[in-house]
Amino acid sequence: MAKTKILVVDDNAQMRNLLRITFNSYPQYAFFQAQSGQEAIDVIKAEHPDIIFLDVMMPGELDGLNVCEFVKSSDEFKSIFVALLSAKGQKEDIATGLKSGADKYITKPFSPMALLDIVAEICAAKV
């Protein structure tokens, strides 16, 4: 059975490392990471992940909302599940995130176990 490809995009190295350790504990997942919006798009094009956990606020030209809009407006990638991760938890922030096409909006801080639960739900739904 093919591994579920998970991409974590966050400019915080500690966050990426925590999630790498979490997902690499499970052999059914292939973990990829990016630290910027442009790097995320490069990984998306190369690996075509099944699920993306995407930080909203990142430095550089492309933030998480831009990357989400890229994914969801592309015929090739729009089926990828995108969960935005953000410290911004106001109703307007969540609405903006979902308007960008995100499938889910998760406010920080969150438990890595919550992300594992989301991945398990997505995988179960695909069976």
Residue pLDDT, tens place only, 86-106: 999 999 999 999 999 999 999
What pLDDT does 13 receive?
Answer: 96
Cis geometry, peptide bond prior to residue 109 (ω within 30 degrees of 0): yes
Element (H, E) at 5: strand 4-9
Task: Say what the pLDDT of residue 1 is.
Answer: 67
Residue with tokens 């492309």: 62
Domain at 4-126: CATH architecture: 3-Layer(aba) Sandwich (3.40)
What is the per-residue pLDDT across 50-89, written as a single tens digit (0 to 9) for each?
999 999 999 889 999 999 999 999 999 999 999 999 999 9
Say what percent of the chain tops pLDDT 90: 92
Question: How confident is the prediction for the chain on average, in pLDDT?
Answer: 95
The residues pairing with 101 across neighbouring beta strands, listed in sequence order, are none
